[in-house]
A and B are shown apart, each in its own frame.
Chain A
Amino acid sequence: MVFVICYLIVICTLVFDIKTMVWTRKDLLGLEELTKEELELILSTAESFKEVSSREIKKVPALRGKTVVNLFYEPSTRTRVSFEVAAKRLSADVINIATETSSVKKGETLIDTGRNIEALKADIIVMRHNCSGAALMLARNLHISVVNAGDGWHEHPTQALLDIFTLKEKLGRIEGLNVVIVGDIAHSRVARSNIWGLTKLGARVTVCAPKILIPPAIEEMGVSVSCDIDEALKNADSVNVLRMQFERDGQTAFPKQLEYFKEFGITQERLKKAKKDIIVMHPGPINRGIEMSSGVADGANSVILEQVTNGIAVRMAALFLVSQANEKTKNEDIN
């Protein structure tokens, strides 16, 4: 009898409370596996958190007593500091581990590192790693939450989320927008995450790069491909300019810097042929004069610094939601 009542309650909850989206994932590893509703939940939560940063006292007690560990296997300014600020605004304690100066140098494995951090009773690990899939592997082997701050070429979910958040703030919607992503698409986790997020929310995405930097079969992700930036920019509502990643490049087949700037660089001249109020984005750090001119980087169409500010709100939302989900799971296990 009780079982029947519970079953009925569940059905009624599903039917009547469909708007109450619940976040149940203990980790944020990528945008590929998220539903449209989950994406929208993070974005609307981020909007509420944006207000916190405009207060005199920029703190809320939501993650009080929780410990967030930044585990970065690759260098970072923006992402690492952004996560640290976000965690501190939620009143969490933050520990930073730069693997250059850690026991990883002595050969300690990823899972061992993760398990030791878990044994130190941390609650969330924010990890950036040079191997695609590292975040998932860590998440599977730990009970605590893992937030992916970039894994190899695979995904950089919070970057894409803050890009989408900024776009939505500027243009009011994502659905139906024409978004161009230009740069080293093949090696870009920012591109991949953006593609997943934007297509799920109904945008039309075009990737643009020299042929050698376009991964084969990328059309299967639901994007158009172009090797002509002027053509691609014609109807674009926004262009997301990726950094040309010279530190990953070992091959001489890659286009030289100045040639790239001439063919694909976003300059004020180029923007004259695009929509007047096209939104120009860049995940940072900018290589001025290679993928973008200084004029554009500092110009009126650029929202690059706003992206950085929005990154705090988005990361606060991500940390809050995974922490909540994990707490709930822990409580259910106890009961």
Chain B
Amino acid sequence: MSSLMKEKAKILDREGISRSIMRIAHEIVEKNKGIENLCLIGIRNRGVYLAQRLAACIKGIEGKDVLTGALDITLYRDDLALASGQPIVRKTEIDFDINEKILILVDDVLYTGRTIRAALDALIDFGRPKSIQLAVLVDRGHRELPIRADYAGKNIPTAKNETIEVRLSEIDDLDEVVIIDKDNDK
């Protein structure tokens, strides 16, 4: 699909992504004064890989493991009927109790905020965390709900006909973040 859309610019390369993640890891540890009761929950798909990378960084800083989970929000989306293509339902894997924990939601791109709203809905069914914070690699603006990121790798103002693609070597061929011009064919 991306061969028809024009790649406008590369915003982050491999080193850039890695440095952003490292900085976010430090900020998380700083803001929460350590990692007690902390856990990372990645939003499928790429949020999960980012959460794993963050966990590795945090282990490097604090010397201890951080609980990590994966959340699939497909069933909580507010646009299931309108979604183009089949929303694929994947597994949610949170094997620990989230009550009284400080949850860090991790996602690749923050745009309208509806994904995060869906994630908050999903998490309420799992328990009552002490607090929920949000870490994203890219914040591209255009919020449609009152949601904000506590930690952002990069703030990139975009136009509505553009889209941001985060590619991670865990499932794409390489690490990079690009802006893409979508074809205006409506």
Contact = CB atoms under 8 A, between A and B. Distances in A.
Interface stretch (B46-54, B88-96, B135-143, B159-167): B88-96
Interface stretch (A8-16, A98-106, A144-152, A211-219): A8-16
A43 to B, nearest CB: 12
Given A5-B185, A55-B126, A56-B126, A23 B86 contact: yes
A99 B185 CA distance: 51
Nearest to A17: B1
B125 A59 contact: yes
A44 to B, nearest CB: 8
Interface residues of A: mostly helix, strand, loop or mixed? Answer: helix
Nearest to B93: A51
Report the interface size class on chain A: 20 to 34
Contacts of A61: 75-76, 121
Contacts of B85: 17, 20, 22
Interface string A17-61: 100111100000000000000000000010111010001110111
Interface string B89-120: 11111000000000000000000000000000
Interface string B3-34: 11000000000000000000000000000000
B144 interface: no
Interface string B60-100: 00000000000010011000111001111111110000000
Contacts of B88: 20, 45
Interface stretch (A69-77, A194-202, A295-303, A320-328): A320-328
B36 interface: no
Name which of B75, B80, B87 has the most chain A CB atoms within 10 A of its CB.
B75
Given A22-B86, A327-B80, A331-B81, A51 B91 contact: yes
A21 B72 contact: no
A44 B93 CA distance: 15
B183 interface: yes
Contacts of A5: 4, 183, 185
A2 interface: yes
Which of B1, B126, B127, B185: most chain A CB closer than 10 A? Answer: B1
Nearest to A328: B81
Interface of B: 1-4, 72, 75-76, 80-82, 85-93, 121-122, 125-127, 183, 185
Interface of A: 2, 5-6, 8-9, 12-13, 16-17, 20-23, 45, 47-49, 51, 55-57, 59-62, 317, 320, 324, 327-328, 330-331
